[in-house]
Structure 1
Amino acid sequence: MRPTLAALLLLASSALATGEFTTEEAGGKVTVKLDGKLYTEYRTDSKVPYLHPLSSASGACLTRHWPMEPGFKEEEDHPHHRGFWMSHGAVNGHDFWAWTTKESDPKIEHKGLRERKNDAFTVELAWTAAGKTQLTEERTYAFKEIDPKTMAITVTSKLKAPEADALFGDTKEGMFAIRVDRTLRQKGKEAKGAIADSEGRKDGAVWGKKSNWVAFTGPDEKGEPAVIAVLDHPSNLRHPTWWHARDYGLLAANPFGIHDFEGKKDKHTGDHVLKKGETLVFRYEVVLHHGDLESAKLAERWAEFAK
């Protein structure tokens, strides 16, 4: 007996069915699993919360291993570059980006888990410095498997200035960032990667330019093709944003560093004041793809995200 059309359609839809995400929270850490296997973790064991690891469908980690995995053999530079994070180098004159050894350093404190679903969670954060809360933040991470080779993490950040106006200063040191793994870089002993943006620019030409998205591409640590990209939402401040994309593996969307990126003499060109009580919302999406730049279809991904 031949299968009916309905049965064939059901079979096809099952083959295309996406995986199931689950989240678990304990001790300020949120573990995200896909079909029961570790997908990523939201960690609060540093001065800035971050996600680690970010994995391809191949099972390879596309973000750096060190310093989250002590003893891992790779370049040990920029210890504040941890997986996938968000911070800025000048908020009311305080540097939330780079780290020093002082206990009074600015930090982004995890205040608690506000909401948790299978495929998303929301945390409450406080950007504190000099004994004061400079910003409060409600940040939501949402996870989606677009197809068996493509996954996406959408982040929505709602920033408020609770006590006084907050000045975001003009600096290239920020803001929404990823540090990619060794093989995806252009610089280093194992580097085999490339950089591309939505405007067709390549490699070093991407730095400091405005575009809808930027991607790092190349072989993953297993030698299989991989793409990791960040998409800027049209509703974000100063969209399309500028990009701090470096050959050693840093990829950061930064709407504030105009004088650095465009070589302006006025070092306050990119300043932005968030008025007391007002909210500044940012939305970004990270795309993880097992394949090459063409099969990643980032123009389509961005158009869908932009809706």
Structure 2
Amino acid sequence: MRRLHPLPLVAAAFGLLALASSALAQTVTLTQSDTGVRVDIDGKLFTEYVTKDVPRPFFYPVIGGAGENIVRNFPMKTDVAGEPQDHPHHRGLWFAHGSINGMDFWSEMKDFGKQQSTGVSDLKAEGNKGSFTATTKWVSADGKPVLSDTRKFTITALPNGEKLLDFDITLQATEGEVTFGDTKEGTMAIRLCPQLTFKDKEGTGNAYNTQNDKKKDIWGKRAPWVAYFGPDPKGNVVGVAMFEHPKNFRAPTYWHARDYGLFAANPFGVHDFEGKKDEEHLGDHKMAKGDTLQLRYRFFFGKGKPMPKAMAARYDEYVKE
């Protein structure tokens, strides 16, 4: 009878365990520089929070669940073949709004308002989690301060390349009364890569919400979350979901989710989304001096098609934290 030697079997078992642990072990690293904060996972870039010489801070690139950038490169890069170059104010992943005290903080047309980074602090990274805090001053076209905010970002590296990015922002009327105006142009937003769009024949993406509205039917509807999915630039199927916290102002939010890749949650644009043309201030929200408004969102960057039950479970996890 042939005898099996135990040592090779033990070595093989340890090898399998090592492979399994490497698939599970994720290490988040944060590096601050004069341009912002770089986020690496297992030594590879996940995203960077960009703050220097820009109209407003934003995250770019954003590496999806299969290892490829899933946001549009324009306008940060202008030479990527096949990328549309519309809406140059759609930079990566960002927070902005199109009417604050009547000023445009969303687009970059004439006399638009800007967000100026005023600091980054509390960088913490341990194991598969990292977090940092950023402060921002919103200023008018002529440089006058309008309001301020504090943002806390939490990054969680999940097994097999999937990730979470929590965006927790507290807006404060530090200078006087602030009115967030009723407009569809806003607010918590990401501009997805062309492959995840569904506008024309070149678009190979898809989307749905909690009510099972699909694609263009999502726009203007209220829902706790929306998920997009499709191929990344290398053809890997990936998913991108945005969850809104149920304690947010006017939850569940309205969705300014477009077929060309703009994917945004907006609690203010009520008259636009409801089609009430004669009530253009219906969704206005006024803040007295000193008032605050907290809004919380979670982005999930997954691998494979995001199935509704799985997304619902992830939303429930978020709510319970």
Matches within 5 A, 1:201-240: 201-240=213-252
Q: 1:259: Cα distance to partner?
A: 0.1
**CA separation of 1:18/1:212 partners in 2, compared to 1, >3 Å: closer, same or farther?**
farther
**Contact 1:149–1:291, Cα closer than 8 Å, also in 2:** no
| Distance of 1:34 and 1:296 partners within structure 2 | 27
Give the total of aligned pairs. 302
Matches within 5 A, 1:44-55: 44=51, 45-55=53-63
**Number of the residue aligned with 2:68:** 60
1:127 aligns with 2:138: yes
**Contact 2:24–2:158, Cα closer than 8 Å, also in 1:** no
Q: Aligned to 2:226, what secondary structure does the other structure show?
A: strand
Q: Aligned to 2:313, what secondary structure does the other structure show?
A: helix
**Number of the residue aligned with 1:20:** 27
Q: Which amino acid aligns with 2:85?
A: E
**Number of the residue aligned with 2:149:** 137
Q: 1:48: Cα distance to partner?
A: 1.1
**Contact 2:26–2:158, Cα closer than 8 Å, also in 1:** no
Q: 1:184: Cα distance to partner?
A: 0.4
Q: 1:59: Cα distance to partner?
A: 1.3
Q: Which amino acid aligns with 2:305?
A: D
Residues 255-299 of structure 1, C-alpha deviation per residue, up to 9 Å, x if partnerless? 000000001121111000122112110100111001012288110
1:72 aligns with 2:84: no
Match of 2:256 among 244, 254, 279: 244
Q: 1:196: Cα distance to partner?
A: 0.6
1:86 aligns with 2:98: no
> So what's the TM-score if we normalise by structure 1?
0.93
Q: 1:146: Cα distance to partner?
A: 2.8
**CA separation of 1:18/1:201 partners in 2, compared to 1, >3 Å: closer, same or farther?**
farther
Q: 1:70: Cα distance to partner?
A: 2.5
**Number of the residue aligned with 1:151:** 163
| Distance of 1:38 and 1:266 partners within structure 2 | 46
**Number of the residue aligned with 1:197:** 209
| Distance of 2:201 and 2:216 partners within structure 1 | 18
| Distance of 2:79 and 2:113 partners within structure 1 | 27
Q: Aligned to 1:284, what secondary structure does the other structure show?
A: strand
**Contact 1:227–1:296, Cα closer than 8 Å, also in 2:** no
Match of 2:194 among 182, 186, 190: 182
**Contact 1:63–1:178, Cα closer than 8 Å, also in 2:** yes
- Sequence identity (%): 39
Q: 1:224: Cα distance to partner?
A: 1.1
Q: Which amino acid aligns with 1:94?
A: M
- Give the superposed CA RMSD: 2.1
Which contiguous aligned blocks of 4+ residues in structure 1 show a shift greater than 4 angstroms?
Answer: 10-13
Match of 2:36 among 9, 26, 29: 29
**Number of the residue aligned with 1:306:** 319
1:278 aligns with 2:278: no
Residues 95-134 of structure 1, C-alpha deviation per residue, up to 9 Å, x if partnerless? 00010255xx310000111221121111110011143221
Q: 1:194: Cα distance to partner?
A: 0.8
Task: Specify every segment of 5 or more residues in structure 1 that has no aligned partner in the other structure, as ranges.
Answer: none
**Number of the residue aligned with 1:97:** 106
Q: Which amino acid aligns with 2:297?
A: Y
Residues 178-198 of structure 1, C-alpha deviation per residue, up to 9 Å, x if partnerless? 000011001256310111111
